[in-house]
Structure 1
């Protein structure tokens, strides 16, 4: 199903990172790294790969975080900081010295981490439908979801070893799809993501990757105290129909990029949480404009 390639990097005892280029790399163009949302894969960015104007503006490079897709590590434990380091090591391995980074949901805070770790490498970031907080009471008071309540039952259910014939239950997939795409997921898309998840999360190793990914989502560290170290420009897009993180939260957090070359929030009317997939026209046009402005 996937056209994902893999590349070797040294992080976490040696890692295999799943990635996909939209087309053959063109050194004359800037690069846009794209980091996918929870439990999805590079396939989340099919609408971006299909966009001719975006593809003509930048090399499109989707990277799969630890615990996702074809990415694997020698060590069994990982955090979002590890994914940020891995992304930078992939760029180095590919000979790409600078890149913009777009991230959907969890990909947004990976993008911010990459910008903090390597300000000379990350030219700008485009967070989509995200939050820079941990799963805090503050964020819930601003209308965000209760990520602890959402994740904990799955974490508990995934605690025991399973056989080789195990695949992720469709009920878990549907719960993610509802939060990311809204209730009205087209039947073809739902079937696609059922199959993709069950390819990526199979057997006991798949169960363990999914469990650690869920723990990361629930128990991650917040970035508020670190955001002043982001120097590059920031374009944050957020949908009004986002069921996970709210527009008021985004409005408050974009103000924390106090040393950014320019931090802007754009609200997408009716946009869902997985904004790159549900509202690609708005996202792709904004990305083209942002890249052309700051390249």
Structure 2
């Protein structure tokens, strides 16, 4: 798909599958892009689901722009994408920052979100320690560029000990990094824990058992706060990006959850 104009910004997306089952929109994590869901898009579209994966501002083929934005703005981007595609209702999901956006989309447009897929994400703002560490990382990348000294530990945190770590390090060396406005969006995101109980749609919760980016207790909070949340599923051995490193183990609970919604 080419870039499309959504809410005054260029946005890249890939649209896969048919129209005989519900639409599923998936948002990627920070430093990643829509291709992280390639395996899930293929599996779900083979089952008749329409799967839309998209690049958030400053990632993949979607430019960041110079105007500061928040995850409420990216949620409005997602709602604008639904309008652009003529999709009235959809299951919305994402990993990490994709989940930050999905949560806010469900709050902004509850009548259009029929289910949530929340992977390695949270409703909290950054802790003081994470704010300090991520600020140092972004400052280092801005000053030194994509050097192995910074990229190796970053890839270990996101991907873990997996061959895909080398793939993403190479991507980061050859593509613009999400610094500037995307980094500011991540660092300054607001806490929406007080509003989690407003989300009434069925919600799947999934995390990698070795994820160090999002503490387990923050996903357990979502399990207790969202009325129709599932128990927390864990992908054994996965770090922060189970769809990339453990595609089958991630896709299976997604399929079960979506099929259960489709048969309601």
TM-score of the pair, normalised by structure 1: 0.80
Q: What are the residue-to-residue correspondences of 1:109-188 with 2, within 5 Å?
A: 109-136=100-127, 146-157=129-140, 168-182=146-160, 184-186=161-163
Superposed CA RMSD? 2.3
Query: Gaps (5+ residues) in structure 1?
Result: 138-145, 161-165
The equivalent of 2:168 in structure 1 is: 193
CA shift at 1:284, angstroms? 0.8
Distance across 2 between alignment mates of 1:55 and 1:283: 16
Distance across 2 between alignment mates of 1:44 and 1:79: 22
Distance across 2 between alignment mates of 1:231 and 1:242: 27
The equivalent of 1:34 in structure 2 is: 26
CA distance change for structure 1 residues 171 and 60 in 2, over 3 Å: closer, same or farther? farther
CA distance change for structure 1 residues 74 and 241 in 2, over 3 Å: closer, same or farther? closer
The equivalent of 1:61 in structure 2 is: 52
The equivalent of 2:218 in structure 1 is: 249
Per-residue CA deviation, residues 104-158 of structure 1 (Å, 9 max, x unaligned), is: 1111111111111111111111111112111136xxxxxxxx3223211133346
Query: Gaps (5+ residues) in structure 2?
Result: none
Per-residue CA deviation, residues 15-56 of structure 1 (Å, 9 max, x unaligned), is: 1111112x3x522221111100011111211222343x5532
Distance across 1 between alignment mates of 2:65 and 2:30: 21
* Matched-pair contact (CA < 8 Å) for 2:125–2:189: yes
Distance across 1 between alignment mates of 2:94 and 2:66: 24
The equivalent of 2:260 in structure 1 is: 293
The equivalent of 1:16 in structure 2 is: 10
* Matched-pair contact (CA < 8 Å) for 1:39–1:210: no
The counterpart of 1:107, out of the listed 90, 94, 98, is 98
1:281 aligns with 2:248: yes
| Aligned partner of residue 53 in structure 2, secondary structure | strand
Distance across 2 between alignment mates of 1:96 and 1:199: 34
Aligned length: 262
Per-residue CA deviation, residues 63-86 of structure 1 (Å, 9 max, x unaligned), is: 111121121365521111111110
* Matched-pair contact (CA < 8 Å) for 1:276–1:283: yes
CA shift at 1:226, angstroms? 1.4
The equivalent of 1:163 in structure 2 is: none
Distance across 1 between alignment mates of 2:103 and 2:25: 12
Distance across 2 between alignment mates of 1:158 and 1:278: 25
CA shift at 1:5, angstroms? 3.2
Distance across 1 between alignment mates of 2:154 and 2:56: 17
